Amino acid sequence: MLHYQAFLFGLLTRKEKNLELLQEYGLFLAKAVTLVAAIGVIIGLLVAAGHARRAPKQGYIEVRKYNDDVSDMSEAIEGLTMDKFQLKQRRKKQQKKHKQELKQAKQDAKSSKDKQEAKVDDGKPQHYVLDFDGDIYASDVDKLRQEITAVLAVANSQDEVIVRLESAGGMVHTYGLAASQLARIRAADIKLTICVDRVAASGGYMMACLANKIIAAPFALVGSIGVVAEVPNIHRLLKKHDIDVEVLTAGEHKRSLTVMGENTRKGKDKFMEDLQITHDLFKNWVSEQRPQVNIKEVANGDVWYGQQALNNQLVDALGTSDDYLQQLIKDQKSIILVSYEEKKSVGEKLGLAAAGVLQTLTARLWTQSRHNNIQS
């Protein structure tokens, strides 16, 4: 009996030691992940600070044919779902169709009497796809301006530019510049289509309303035609600790509101007046670009889901960017993805990689906590 008890005690002791070992390993892993994430954040901040002080770096335009990407994916799936005979027959059919299209194109060019006209007719319309992911500063505007410059150098009036736009808005002057970049496409008499898969609000909609056609996903958020400003003020806290802050200005309206000084009613009224002027400019901009919109009903700062936005004529059609591009492929249209890429240093690559790891870990922890809350 004593030997049996000693045996059980030994098993329990080993289990406890194993459990302690696992706990220590878990703590070590958590510390290691936290340390790596912290280092990544620090590197990212240092890189961002250094990047802000430096002049814009040289980059390059990356061009890829979307049709080829889709074709490669289709062929990969076909290779797994078809036998060799079926695959061979399909390839022959595709080759035969391609030869017939080339033959027809040559015949059409030959039948034209005017050689110049034949040259124009023979060129197929191109559809250029750009991406804009807007933060509060519209930081992607530098990338966008390079991409538009590249496209305008080769595009003509029969082509189309498709912008996959994602932005909840931000600073007025930066989004005004971003909208002006899109205006260059319209000024060149080239069709502009904006696809909104998730959100185009405030400054994002300021950009979107320039399009000949706006396509929004059914649950995309659109609108927010309004202006907001938040200014923290710690004057009472400073006053409580007998700290004086003198705000000196030359010019009556140089500073209407301040963070540390005392804000007056006159200053607040001036600030509200400036906000109202900005709102009026925003409303006039939307009215000029989309006269079909009842600006009095939609310019109250509200946002709408895709279907509601369609009812308010803020968008022209419902659908995702994938739907639109897939339809162009079915219609045998040529789609070219255009992206301006900046050359990144090793430090920047490390910072971006660390930031990506941190973002992934945060998302996983949030998902796990949501899952645990649902279960409980």
List, by residue number, the catalytic residues.
202, 254
Q: Is residue 283 within 8 Å of 225, Cβ to Cβ?
A: yes
Q: Is 159 helix (H, G, I), strand (E, B) or coil?
A: coil
Q: Is residue 132 within 8 Å of 144, Cβ to Cβ?
A: yes
Burial class (CB in 10 A: 0-12, 13-18, 19+), 314: buried
Q: Is 267 helix (H, G, I), strand (E, B) or coil?
A: helix
Q: What is the DSSP string of 237-261?
A: HHHHTT-------SSTTS-SS-SSS
Pairing of β 199-201 and β 221-223: parallel
Q: What is the DSSP string of 38-87?
A: HHHHHHHHHHHHHHHHSPPPPEEEEEEEHHHHHHHHHHHHHHHHS-HHHH
Alpha carbon distances (Å) from 313 to 211, 295, 321: 13, 10, 19
Q: Which long-range contacts (CB under 8 A, 24 or more apart) does 249-258 make?
A: 257/231, 257/233, 258/231, 258/233
